[in-house]
Structure 1
Amino acid sequence: MKAKAVLAAAAALITADAGQAHPLPSTSATTTYHRVTVDGVGIFYREAGPKGAPTIVLLHGFPSSSREFDPLIPLLATQYHLIAPDFPGFGHSDAPSPSSYAYTFDHLAQTTSALLDQLGIDKCVFYLHDYGGPVGFRVMAARPQRVQALVVQNANAYSEGLGAKWAVIAQYWTDPKAHPEVFDAFVSQAATEQRHTLGTSHPERYNPDTWTDEYAHLQQPGQREIQSALLYDYRTNVASYPAWQSWLREHKPPTLVAWGKNDPSFIAAGGDAYKRDVPDAEVHQLDAGHFAFDEKNDEIADLILKFLANQSLK
């Protein structure tokens, strides 16, 4: 009888009264996968770690998704609660037409902030990478009290951090219709691969599934309109750099910078520049490229764990 009772209890955990499966909670290093409606948009997110632990929110880059954090999450989830969402138009989140959802970094930030509100995350550590930088800075500026600490990995906020290609992209910002070749190059198969592989001395550490899957995503219907809108709106990020730097000077969040110093897009000077506004920032220039955690995953995880161990997180 006792065995039957145990089996019945286990079945109750995974089966709802209506016959639907209950999502099991994320525990320790086990990642679970969720989808909620936020601001009328279906948002997908990964979750791992004990919910009672301090939360790290991981914000991904272009043209990836929360999947980019798959190798890092298990190394942090034994001690921290992790949330990694896909922005609208990316990964497994909805990609509504630009006629119904404005693809601007302001709007991505509003949706991300609304997701955190919906999940009850009122304090957290932010991990910013690439596009996650402009989204995260907007989220943090709107509610500074939410920020417990900041981890920056090739998320630029300084003009000196912009590599040579941004001078070409600036032509697109001036007149997108006159420079379609700029966008075509930005989303090309070669560029999608090179975002991972340029600047690495360890190509064997890079999984080619990452860029083949990212490129396949970019070929989906509607993606050209979505990504061209965001590339054009990126000009507002560069214009916002002085405001973000001022925010850093005012609030001085505990900051760890783990920068892939060989990144040709966001060059090493952009990582070093954080110390200008947050003098106590811990800056590490790693021998890696734009997706530094693809080849320096263990090192970055170790840096994060040591850094956060010295913070007063609740």
Structure 2
Amino acid sequence: MRRLSKYVLTATLFAGTAQAAPLPSINSTTTYHCVQVDGIGIFYREAGPENAPTIVLLHGFPSSSREFDTIIPLLATKYHLIAPDYPGFGLSDAPSPTTYAYTFDHLAQTMSDFLEKLKVTQYTMYLHDYGAPIGFRIILAHPDQVHALIIQNGNIYKAGLGAKWTKIAEYWSDPKAHPEVLNAFLSFEATKERHVAGTSHPDRYDPDTWISEYADLSRLGQREIQGDLLYDYRTNVESYPKWQAWLRDHQPPTLVAWGAHDPSFIAPGAEAFRRDLPHVDIHMLEAGHFALDEKTDEIADLILQFMAKHPG
């Protein structure tokens, strides 16, 4: 299923450059691109010098690479930033679930193929929300390519699952019997609360963000796409022990910058990284799930300090 309105316009604008190489970038100016990956148009943002260490930024639900708009310029004077939209998200194509299986395995394979297409073979990963299960699948498939990890409310521990996951587990057991779970998951109120819940500074949050995200979720076909992914999320929880074992075995340099008041991925999920990474650098921030919305400068400073300690 193709994009409508502005998404058709985006596809048209990029149609002549889908196979083009990224434009060279020598400063913090963000450039915008679309490439064909396995027959799917993948939109991405890019900034920074191409000969600098690369940071791949993997976004959360229900956002897109747009969530990194504020932090990219703060990092791109020293680092090469690449932030893609997954299939079904942002400005990437959203094929019908009848032609593209919306599972985390499949999203990870597409993103892995995307990095291969761009010839990005050494990188640090920034993982947020859905970015964590997608990123860890890529990491386990290509462990020699990953230099370090930056994790912001990207959960891989059962201790990090908030109260709402009890209801979602009912959906996993029988999706057709619990449509109310998906209804709530895709609602306007839930979309707004993912940003403002847990914050003491609601004035720092741009309402355009959740209004735009809800408009995306309301598009034709999105209920099926996001319902498939929500159901498949159970495979992520099943994979937690495997990802934790990889951390124990490989001990990658890891920065955890976590919104401490996130009701979805709660604070114990951040602290749990110490079990497997004794030298992990953990910072609990006075913020919620989308910590970048109000802690952009602080997270950027943490990343710059972290990367300086681990130049690779």
Alpha-carbon shift at residue 40 of structure 1 (Å): 1.1
User: Which residue is equivalent to 2:178?
Assistant: 179
Equivalent-residue separation in structure 1 for 2:21 and 2:227 (angstroms):
39
Query: Cα deviation per residue 1:193-234 (whole Å; 9 max; x = unaligned)?
Result: 000000001111100010000000001111011000000000
Runs (4+) off by over 4 Å:
21-24
Query: Cα deviation per residue 1:240-273 (whole Å; 9 max; x = unaligned)?
Result: 0000000110111100000000000000000011
Query: Cα deviation per residue 1:156-199 (whole Å; 9 max; x = unaligned)?
Result: 00000000000000000000000000000000000000000000
The residue correspondences of 1:162-311 to structure 2 (distance < 5 A) are 162-311=161-310
The residue correspondences of 1:106-145 to structure 2 (distance < 5 A) are 106-145=105-144
SS at match of 1:145: helix
- The runs of 5 or more residues in structure 2 that have no matched partner are 1-19
User: Which residue is equivalent to 1:63?
Assistant: 62
Contact 1:249/1:278, CA 8 A, preserved across alignment: yes
Equivalent-residue separation in structure 2 for 1:252 and 1:66 (angstroms):
28
Contact 1:161/1:266, CA 8 A, preserved across alignment: yes
Is 1:41 the counterpart of 2:45 in the alignment?
Answer: no
Is 1:74 the counterpart of 2:73 in the alignment?
Answer: yes
Equivalent-residue separation in structure 1 for 2:295 and 2:22 (angstroms):
32
Contact 1:58/1:127, CA 8 A, preserved across alignment: yes
Alignment TM-score, normalising by the size of structure 1: 0.92
Alpha-carbon shift at residue 27 of structure 1 (Å): 2.6
Alpha-carbon shift at residue 24 of structure 1 (Å): 4.2
- The runs of 5 or more residues in structure 1 that have no matched partner are 1-20
Contact 1:72/1:301, CA 8 A, preserved across alignment: yes
Query: Cα deviation per residue 1:73-105 (whole Å; 9 max; x = unaligned)?
Result: 000000000000000000000000001100000
Equivalent-residue separation in structure 1 for 2:194 and 2:169 (angstroms):
19
Contact 1:60/1:86, CA 8 A, preserved across alignment: yes
Is 1:50 the counterpart of 2:46 in the alignment?
Answer: no
- Number of matched pairs: 293
SS at match of 1:94: coil
SS at match of 2:200: coil
User: Which residue is equivalent to 1:312?
Assistant: 311
Give the AA of the match of 1:72.
I
Alignment TM-score, normalising by the size of structure 2: 0.93
Query: Cα deviation per residue 1:254-304 (whole Å; 9 max; x = unaligned)?
Result: 000000000000000000111110110000000000000110000000000
Give the AA of the match of 1:48.
A
Give the AA of the match of 1:45.
Y
The residue correspondences of 1:14-33 to structure 2 (distance < 5 A) are 24-33=23-32
SS at match of 2:245: helix
Contact 1:25/1:32, CA 8 A, preserved across alignment: no
